[in-house]
């Protein structure tokens, strides 16, 4: 299927590793040029190198998107070399887990600053340019916004806010000609999940494949997700065949979801 992405320019945040890196590389395979952002400049340069190896242009922009002015600078960093913004993928963000009574105001503020406010500010900065080209926004959220977890008070709250933000901007996008959708993953094998797999290996005294399968079964998933699983869906939602899809929250959860 031709997704119509050849020659498009995309911004992907949190692109130094995991889901963000996979999204950036898959968009490059579909013909996009990329501006990629994250805090780790070294890993970001490695992602940029992988994109260039596919024959596409890549600009690595190291930034801490918790800073209020950083998202606007990121949008400007895309316009400088490319002159346009066709796609924004808001992927950056990690939140602290733990007992609610042990979590501080600063922990909550930090969680919202990156994943929620980073997405809000970048969307705001890019929006006029997305309107010009009938562009697309894809937010990467997370199942914690739908299913309450006693250890995930911050992440669940942030994700729930992003669900609403996606719907709000999708409605605005109908008026302005910008498509806004989201992908909501369950457990995907990123660096954080690999820690849980190693812990299970040690606790059960099993090999990595068995530990991975046990964790997937425990979570109710057909298998643990791969970053590429999310990347494929992002490319589809950003592409021409998804032109009629607006405000969708696509569950990429391996069948674990129970909500109707």
Q: Closest by alpha carbon to 25, among 61, 55, 65, 62?
A: 55
CA 58 to chain centre: 18
Task: Kindly indicate the confidence band of residue 13, based on its pLDDT and cuts at 50, 70 and 90.
Answer: very high
Q: What is the pLDDT of residue 50?
A: 98
Q: What is the pLDDT of residue 149?
A: 84
Going along 14-162, which residue ranges are E strands?
A: 33-38, 58-62, 87-90, 136-140
* Phi then psi dihedrals of residue 188, to 5 deg: -120, 140
Portions of the chain given CATH number 3.40.50.720 = 9-186+225-251
Q: What is the pLDDT of residue 258?
A: 77
CB 9 within 8 A of CB 77: no
Q: Give mean pLDDT, residues 198-218.
A: 85
- For all residues of the chain together, what is the average pLDDT? 94
Cβ-in-10-Å burial (0-12, 13-18, 19+) of 172 comes to: middle
Q: What is the pLDDT of residue 217?
A: 85
Task: Kindly indicate the confidence band of residue 211, based on its pLDDT and cuts at 50, 70 and 90.
Answer: confident
Q: Give mean pLDDT, residues 83-111.
A: 94
Q: Give mean pLDDT, residues 123-129.
A: 98
Q: What is the pLDDT of residue 160?
A: 95
What does R_g of the chain's alpha carbons equal in angstroms? 18
Q: Give mean pLDDT, residues 235-244.
A: 98
pLDDT of 145 above 80: no
Q: Domain 9-186+225-251 in CATH: superfamily? A: NAD(P)-binding Rossmann-like Domain (3.40.50.720)
pLDDT top residue among 126 and 204 = 126
Going along 95-159, which residue ranges are E strands?
A: 136-140
Task: Kindly indicate the confidence band of residue 214, based on its pLDDT and cuts at 50, 70 and 90.
Answer: confident
Q: What is the pLDDT of residue 197?
A: 87
């Amino acid at each position: 299927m031709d997704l119509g992405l050849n020659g498009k320019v995309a911004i992907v945040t949190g692109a130094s590793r995991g889901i963000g890196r996979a999204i950036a590389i898959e968009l490059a395979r579909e013909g996009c040029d990329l501006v990629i952002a994250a805090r780790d400049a070294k890993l970001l340069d490695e992602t940029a190198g992988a994109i260039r190896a596919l024959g596409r242009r890549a600009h690595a922009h190291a930034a801490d998107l918790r800073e209020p002015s950083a998202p606007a600078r990121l949008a400007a960093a895309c316009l400088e070399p490319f002159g346009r913004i066709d796609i924004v993928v808001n992927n950056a963000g990690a939140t602290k887990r733990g007992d609610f009574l042990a979590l501080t105001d600063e922990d909550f503020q930090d969680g919202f600053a990156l994943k929620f406010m980073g997405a809000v500010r970048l969307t705001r900065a890019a929006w006029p340019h997305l309107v010009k080209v009938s562009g697309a926004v894809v937010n990467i959220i997370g199942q914690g916004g739908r299913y309450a977890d006693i250890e995930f008070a911050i992440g669940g709250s942030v994700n729930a806010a992003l669900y609403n933000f996606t719907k709000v901007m999708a409605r605005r996008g109908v008026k302005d000609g910008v498509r806004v959708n989201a992908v909501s993953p369950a457990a995907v094998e990123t660096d954080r999940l690999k820690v849980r797999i190693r812990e299970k290996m040690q606790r059960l005294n099993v090999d990595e494949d068995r530990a991975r399968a046990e964790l997937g079964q425990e979570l109710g998933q057909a298998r643990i997700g791969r970053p590429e699983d999310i990347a494929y869906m992002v490319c589809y939602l950003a592409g021409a065949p998804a032109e009629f899809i607006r405000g969708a929250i696509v569950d990429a959860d391996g069948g674990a979801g129970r909500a109707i």
